A and B are shown apart, each in its own frame.
Chain A
Amino acid sequence: MKVAVVVFPGSNCDHDAYYVAKDVIGADAEMIWHKDTSLGGADVVVLPGGFAHGDYLRTGAIARFSPVMNEVKKFAAAGGPVIGICNGFQVLLEAGLLPGAMLRNRSLKYQCEHVFVKVEQTDTPFTLASRKDQILRIPIAHGEGNYYAEADVVARLEKNRQVVFRYTTAAGEASAEANPNGSLHNIAGLCNEARNVVGLMPHPERACELAVGSADGLVLFESILRSVGGAAAPLPAKASAAAGAVANR
């Protein structure tokens, strides 16, 4: 399996996604420069977190014009699995690959902390290794993650089961208290109608080893391995050791 990590000039979680793909789950991975016009034969595309072009305008607003995005769109239209994490999610929204927009956090501040999200849909390439309603403890790190869309759009998302991740309490309750940023319906992540394009604000790539506080995010990468790699390749020792209970040292 080959993972393409798209690098915009202001991406800063590109290394982290690359590291998990290559060193934690042992996949083949390549950094793809945003001016490139080829995805290098990748099986999966990751749009990583960061501040793609400084994001002084609107997060992701300029990134959608990067040459590589044409390839990403074609790849997605052909059913290829694409995941946007944090700024990558914002880019997917701006590029029209997912519906809706991001507002500033309700707190009007950048927030970096671990939160709980529930995996509500397991029929996407990024969640099929998860149990339905599995609760993940993974970090958020954003200033604009307050998901917004028109009421009819949100209703459609719910009806079509496109809300893949929802902010909840540790017990799985999607309460106002569990919502870190004011997102409508506690929405943390979405998929498109075809279910191959997924975007989420939390950072699963920051939660793939107990050493960094949680390995709950690994299930997304295991899902990719399983969905793309056909029969599941056995995970390298490093990842197996990392999977399991939450560390909170």
Chain B
Amino acid sequence: MSVVDRELLERHGLTQEEYGRILEMLGREPSLTELGIFSVMWSEHCSYKSSRVHLKTLPTTGSRVLQGPGENAGAVDIGAGLAAVFKIESHNHPSFIEPYQGAATGVGGIIRDIFTMGARPIALLNSLRFGSLDEPRVRRTFTGVVAGIAGYGNSIGIPTVGGEIGFDESYTGNPLVNVFCLGIARADEIIKAAASGAGNPVYYVGAKTGRDGIHGATMASAEFDETSAEKRPAVQVGDPFMEKLLLEACLEVMKSDALVAIQDMGAAGLTCSTCEMGARGGVGIEIDIAQVPQRETGMTPYEIMLSESQERMLLVVKRGREAEVERIFEKWDLHAVRIGEVTTDNRMRVKDHGTVVADIPNGALTDEAPVYRRPMSEPSYIKEAQQLSLASLGAPAPAADVFRRLLASPNIASKRWVYRQYDHMVRTNTILMPGMGAGTVRIKGTRRALALSVDCNARFVYLDPYRGAQLAVAEASRNVACSGGLPIGATNCLNFGNPQKPEIMWQFAKAVEGMGAACRALDVPITGGNVSLYNETDSNAVLPTPTIGIVGLLEDADRVVSRAFKASGDVIILLGESRDELGGSEYLKVMHGVIRGVPPALDLDLERRLQRLLVEGADAGIVESAHDCAEGGLAVTLAECSFDTGLGAEANVAFVAADAPAMKDVAALFGESASRVIVSVTPARAHEMLGAAARAGVPATVIGRVGGNRIRIAIDGRAVIDEALESAERIWSSAIERYFEPRKAIA
């Protein structure tokens, strides 16, 4: 009699058809342990079954790419014999259920992915999304997530050098926590996760296995409803000190050349690391779970194989070198335990005190896992939402009022309350602090530095997934270029709703298509990443949020450029052009409460020329400051350039012909046209900058001068904003803080 009934399958997130395939692949009924193993490996989170056909279209190769998708992380050549190893990953579902531990273990997981490749992690960034801070529950999630990221990153000693945070009601019941990590390795010493050599011992090292996190991967592959809080036991608990020990010990072991392969036990724990390392190397791995260090008594094979206890690694060691490896772990007070060995037969065989409890071909769990070409259809909301009648919105508020309202919007306001909780300086490489531009770290022992940015304007993606994803790539690359970095590689984290809904699948497919096109045009291959689907609560999906992380290379760290104005009298130049583009803008959301219209147009060829101009301008030392125009448009961008050094600005910007005449000032000041950057240069070099822009075919206009203690903006000579810098700064810097430190509330 079969023990596998419909209810059991449902609890494992498997369909009848999928179960049929399991029977076919095994040629028999699976044991409960085997069913559990299939369930996690075939979950969306591990198998990418809905996304894989689309991801295959992304550009993943290039002259600098040393490692594309498929390993624990991607890697690009940064010269001097070094590689930048990096990846971004989501921890959305756990962070909603248990914000502190969910976020903390997200950081822990991505750090392990990086050092597993033999790289020393040197920088963390994150991209976060929450509902409105006016909601008490959102504030709890927000503070918990920030504290969790801080608690883990600070303790392990990897600086959090940048990131982005966005707020929208759609994330109220489903926050996004995407964590990016970058490490440095010698290009010829990158470690792979492919097991080999029959008879080589397999070692388990790190924390003991407990019952935490069982079915975490399956949980991350389902929507939330009112019972989700009951899933708290599926969230793991992090121990950054244990991870610090693992990090140091593993890097030491890697130097010894006694190591064959290594993989962390992340999602799907021991199961995933065992079958994936075997599959990559075309060999089998046999383990006996009786040898696995256990935190609790009476754990079943099912629980041990599916546990997602954190800070655990699986290693394949060269036979005969065991003592050497054990000695290194002993030094760090870690016990490496031999739990099995490499076999020749391409299967994952799990024993319990010698009795086989699971015996599955590796391929069935990896390459031959189900792949779906899910049905797609254009969402019905799109055509409607793209209609934007500015005239129907009524007369806009005075520009000065809008300016203040936007500075106080949490999407735009200073994130200092957050990044002050992150150690962003440890390792003394941070040469551009958070809030000053792309997070930039120098590479000691070379002249080089890396500028890092993660970005996504999800409103644009919601309104037009194809163009929105292109805009995300363009913005992240532009941020890196503003700091002087040449964009050389990318990683993506695709956060969407339930892929079984054709409309969500359509959003996903279009976004991937747009992202691929932009990455090709800007020459930034995607070397890996992560897909997070089922970001829905009670059937309401989050705004589609395909976050992109970009790595930019500065040949000379001394040439790094911040966004802050440097000296009174410097000339302010607008690169790019403002058009009548308010679609999806912060202005519409904050002042009219709508997400409507068509996102700004994007000319990828112009974008590429603009970014090259910025990098060359930084390298030649012409650019004193550079800041991308994004949410809030020109007016907000100018203000942000002024805040850090307290140098005001006087600018006269061009008139923008708007469809709705009443909106022409708003379009000029707060429109969000793409491919625009505000740079400042010394008066002596203004001519040189304008000449370089002309040669690059990038529109450039002198719009004003740095100086004074006010932000003054005129449109074609007509004053529209005249705000004391100090009061503007106070609004901007206290807008998030005031939710948490009422004593400092602005009067």
Contacts and interface: CB of A to CB of B under 8 A. Distances in A.
Bind each other: yes
Interface of A: 9-13, 15-16, 19-20, 23, 33, 35, 49-51, 53-56, 109-113, 139, 141, 143, 203, 205-206, 208-209, 211-213, 248-249
Nearest to A14: B157
A49 B679 CA distance: 38
A129 B331 CA distance: 39
A50 B157 contact: yes
B387 interface: no
B608 to A, nearest CB: 27
Nearest to A112: B423
Nearest to A141: B423
B424 interface: yes
B227 to A, nearest CB: 32
A54 B241 contact: yes
A13 B240 contact: no
A110 B425 CA distance: 13
B659 interface: no
Contact of B431 (A13, A110, A205, A211): A211
B154 A110 contact: yes
B430 A249 contact: no
A15 B427 CA distance: 7
A168 B418 CA distance: 24
Given A13-B426, A248-B645, A109 B421 contact: yes
A65 to B, nearest CB: 13
Contacts of B147: 109
A109 B417 CA distance: 10
A12 B562 contact: no
A249 B564 contact: yes
B422 interface: yes
Contacts of B429: 212
Given A19-B444, A53-B241, A54-B240, A9 B332 contact: yes
Contact of B424 (A16, A55, A109, A112): A112
A11 B332 CA distance: 12
8 contacts: A10-B155, A12-B244, A20-B428, A23-B444, A109-B420, A112-B425, A211-B557, A212-B428
A9 B157 contact: no
Given A9-B332, A110-B150, A248-B645, A16 B420 contact: no
A69 to B, nearest CB: 17
B696 to A, nearest CB: 25
Contacts of B430: 212
A212 B431 contact: yes
Contact of B426 (A16, A20, A143): A16
B368 interface: no
A15 B442 CA distance: 15
Given A53-B241, A206-B428, A13 B421 contact: no
A10 B426 contact: no
Contacts of B242: 54
A51 B425 contact: no
Given A12-B157, A141-B154, A212-B431, A113 B420 contact: yes
B169 interface: no
Given A13-B157, A208-B428, A211-B431, 15 more contacts: A9-B332, A9-B333, A12-B157, A12-B426, A19-B428, A51-B157, A54-B242, A110-B154, A112-B154, A112-B419, A112-B423, A141-B154, A212-B428, A212-B429, A213-B433
Contacts of A111: 420-421
B571 interface: no
A249 B560 CA distance: 9
State the 8 A-B residue pairs at the shortest beta-carbon distance, nearest first. Answer: A12-B157, A54-B241, A51-B155, A16-B428, A141-B423, A249-B562, A112-B423, A110-B421
Contacts of A141: 154, 423, 425-426
B245 interface: yes
B558 interface: yes
Contact of B239 (A54, A110, A249): A54
Contacts of A13: 157, 426
Given A9-B245, A211-B431, A249-B436, A206 B150 contact: no
Residue among A16, A112, A248 facing the most chain B CB atoms (10 A cut-off): A112
B156 interface: yes
Nearest to B741: A107
A212 B241 CA distance: 27
Contacts of A49: 426
Nearest to B449: A211
B248 interface: yes
Interface in B591-650: 644-645
Interface string B536-580: 000000000000000000000110101010100000000000000
Contacts of B421: 109-112
Interface string B440-464: 0010100000000000000000000
Interface in B387-442: 419-433, 436, 442
B425 A9 contact: no
A141 B155 CA distance: 11
Nearest to B419: A112
A242 B715 CA distance: 43
Residue among B245, B423, B433 facing the most chain A CB atoms (10 A cut-off): B423
Contacts of B154: 51, 110, 112, 141, 143
Nearest to B429: A212
A56 B428 contact: no
Given A10-B155, A12-B156, A56-B241, A110 B442 contact: no
A208 B558 CA distance: 15
A205 B564 contact: no
Given A54-B155, A211-B558, A213-B433, A112 B241 contact: no
A9 B248 contact: yes
A208 B151 CA distance: 26
Nearest to B644: A248
A139 B428 CA distance: 11
A23 B644 CA distance: 31
Contacts of B644: 248
Given A19-B444, A56-B241, A212 B425 contact: yes
Contacts of B155: 10, 12, 51, 54-55
Residue among B154, B245, B436 facing the most chain A CB atoms (10 A cut-off): B154
Contacts of A113: 420
